[in-house]
Amino acid sequence: MNKEQLMVHLKRSGYLKSPEVIAAFEKTPREKFIPEGLSHMAHEDTPIPIGYYQTISAPHMYAIMLELAEIKKGEKVLEVGTGSGYGAALISKLVGQKTYVDSIEIIPELAEVAKQNLAHSKIKNVKVIVGNGNLGLAAEAPFDKIIVTAGAPEIPKELVRQLKEGGKIVIPVGTPAFQELLVGVKRNGKIEYTTHGEVIFVPLVKKE
């Protein structure tokens, strides 16, 4: 598929719905976030390995998560699991150029790759931080939205703490073999969540 065919597929399949998310996909060059030898797969709707036992998720999965997150311009967003930087790039279009996206990556080498990919894509409103995503980013909290791109056995307590009252978290929860995509809204300090289907993500790394 080329990019135009991918966009048609994502719209017809019902993954892309809102004008804002559609525009973010149109403006973000996925090929800039794929390893060179696999760039011919950039517009296939499939996960792609990016090294260090990690993958860039299929485009439809990013579409699902971002549609569920309902990110508005100017909102403070934390992404857990930068990977190659594609998710952060999409989010950067949704929050607007004047707002920074914070993105945490536990693998230093991958964080460096993401920074280079974002720079090559001329995206300047993303801060990539090397750190443990389970611990969030307390220095920048609270967040309106938190997007987690790795599977966790439960919603990490620190992420709940760092979410604004009324804020929303999108996260795959379960075992490595079976996960459900949850959308949680913080009410009175607790998360009320809804489930949105079975998914498979790489595990959220726990090392300190």
Instruction: Show which residues are catalytic.
Output: 57
What is d(CA 96, CA 176) in angstroms, rounded to the nearest whole number? 34
Contact yes or no for 183/199 (Cβ under 8 A): no
Give Cβ neighbours of residue 116 (< 8 Å, ≥ 6 apart).
none
DSSP result, 135-177: G--GGG--EEEEEE-SBBSS--HHHHHTEEEEEEEEEEEE-SS
